[in-house]
Chain A
């Protein structure tokens, strides 16, 4: 196996008194999709700026395709979509993508397919100054996808998109990763991320508090499953008494169940027979896992 495209080793960065990044280590390999999660101010953008060589870490090292950030090799390997991407107002979408395609030595014939892929074919000849936030985001994505980058850096790429184009967006990311690009994308809104990335790295006030696949995090965090049992009108009280948990909305009982107890809990439910009409198991959401790691880090700091 070749070395990861992106290698971050013990990187710290301080602004005046703010410790924006604190000993962060993270690798992303070719074809891998990694989500960098964290609240506003967690240090996501700062990490991207370090990877791009815009600013230097206080200590630690970053290598892109084996080279330092900002070098010719690194700039050729990386494509970037900034958090709030801006373009010259008096250039059209097509002119802008052509501009970046030229800088990346990508043939001009790839420009129209790129615009098509991000759904801007119809707006391609309008000035970027007239674009909405979501359209700018997609235009930024089009230029980022030009020329098959080895490392794709997307800073909160879906923040301006509606849910429908979010889906399209993730399918694009899947294609790019399947074609061999390493993808690192950041997000503070978790709902749309689930199961769409190979690995989740959680950043909390500059520290990496988790870095594993979603399944591993679910297991490791021991956040309980949520089982919702539906009963008949007249049986809901009895179901509640026998299973415990909390009654919600008249007909249902919600149980929190540690992952190892899952099977025995389900057996208990089926033992109730006709008292139960239906049930539903939900995995711990990323949100809950995220909250778990965030608060754990805080508790550790306090103790």
Chain B
């Protein structure tokens, strides 16, 4: 059982390496991180706070959009693609159970994604450290960002599997994945902040808004990272909210893990009914 899960995971990582997925994802993260870190922080970097801390703040926003996208792009193919290409028949005829197969895919994709994030953000962090001569205070923040980015990726991998198990064509699954990204990441966030602007000081801003924020995995991720950053490093509308949450910041992590678990269970249940 565990052996089978690891076998599927290892194969998935191997395919990820060969398809250049890992390299592509890492490069994408690295380039965006460098642009934000080196270009974006140069004016504020000279004021008072550690450039790395400032970079982490902008990387949190970057991750919120980019990591779910990469995760969904990895995940949409997991089941629908194998059905479409006809490779799933042999797997489902072999002794591995469907849940174990899904678990293996998840572990493998998490490995690919984790590797890309560590590589991309790690390299960016090192570069910023070398160029700006950051104090090193931001190191813990960067590590936290990397770990929570992987957790964010896990949630969207699982959500991607729900989409992938629900349809039979790769193309449909891809469209579904992009749609999920648009709605769950981009539009949800836009809508929420739009509502906040319309009702900046009311009941909504104080007691409803933070809960709506933490209910979405992408916003929960950013909220958590902002809340734990040294305040003063950034002055966005979000950092004010993050410093005055009506609940402990750890609730955001719970939201991430809750989404991951719920989506994995849902994907497994849908997958069980699939006729290859």
Q: Tell me the A residues contacting B by CB distance below 8 Å.
A: 49, 52, 54-55, 72, 75-76, 78-80, 82, 84-88, 90-91, 95, 99-100, 102-105, 140, 143
Count contacts on B: residues with CB < 8 A to the other chain. Answer: 22
7 contacting pairs across A/B (C-beta < 8 A): A72-B97, A75-B97, A85-B86, A85-B90, A103-B91, A103-B95, A140-B90
By a CB distance below 8 angstroms, the chain A residues around B92 are: 52, 54
**Do A103 and B94 touch across chains, with their CB atoms under 8 A apart?**
yes
**Do B90 and A100 touch across chains, with their CB atoms under 8 A apart?**
yes
By a CB distance below 8 angstroms, the chain A residues around B15 are: 88, 90-91
Among A52, A55, A75, A88, which residue has the most Cβ atoms of chain B within 10 A?
A88
**Do B90 and A143 touch across chains, with their CB atoms under 8 A apart?**
yes
**CB-CB under 8 A for A55 and B275, given A72-B95, A79-B93, A90-B18:** yes
- Describe B's contact surface by its main secondary structure: helix
**Do B18 and A54 touch across chains, with their CB atoms under 8 A apart?**
no
By a CB distance below 8 angstroms, the chain B residues around A49 are: 275
Please list the 3 inter-chain residue pairs (A to B) with the smallest Cβ-Cβ separation, ordered nearest first.
A80-B93, A86-B86, A90-B18
Q: How far, in Å, is B23 (CB) from chain A's closest CB?
A: 14
Q: How far is the CA of A94 from the CA of B95 in the complex (A)?
A: 19
Q: How far is the CA of A106 from the CA of B90 in the complex (A)?
A: 16
Q: How far is the CA of A138 from the CA of B7 in the complex (A)?
A: 22
Which residue of A52, A78, A88, A103 contacts B4 across the interface (Cβ within 8 Å)? A103
Interface residues of B in 57-105 (CB under 8 A from A): 85-87, 89-97
B231 at the interface (CB under 8 A from A): no
**CB-CB under 8 A for A102 and B7, given A52-B93, A90-B18:** yes
**CB-CB under 8 A for A75 and B93, given A87-B87, A88-B15, A91-B14:** yes
B19 at the interface (CB under 8 A from A): yes
**Do B7 and A54 touch across chains, with their CB atoms under 8 A apart?**
no
B202 at the interface (CB under 8 A from A): no
By a CB distance below 8 angstroms, the chain B residues around A91 are: 11, 14-15, 18
By a CB distance below 8 angstroms, the chain B residues around A52 are: 92-93
Q: Which residue of A lies closest to B7 (CB)?
A: A102
Interface residues of B in 1-43 (CB under 8 A from A): 3-4, 7, 11, 14-15, 18-19
By a CB distance below 8 angstroms, the chain B residues around A80 are: 89-90, 93
Q: Which residue of A lies closest to B85 (CB)?
A: A86
**Do B86 and A104 touch across chains, with their CB atoms under 8 A apart?**
no
Q: How far, in Å, is B87 (CB) from chain A's closest CB?
A: 5
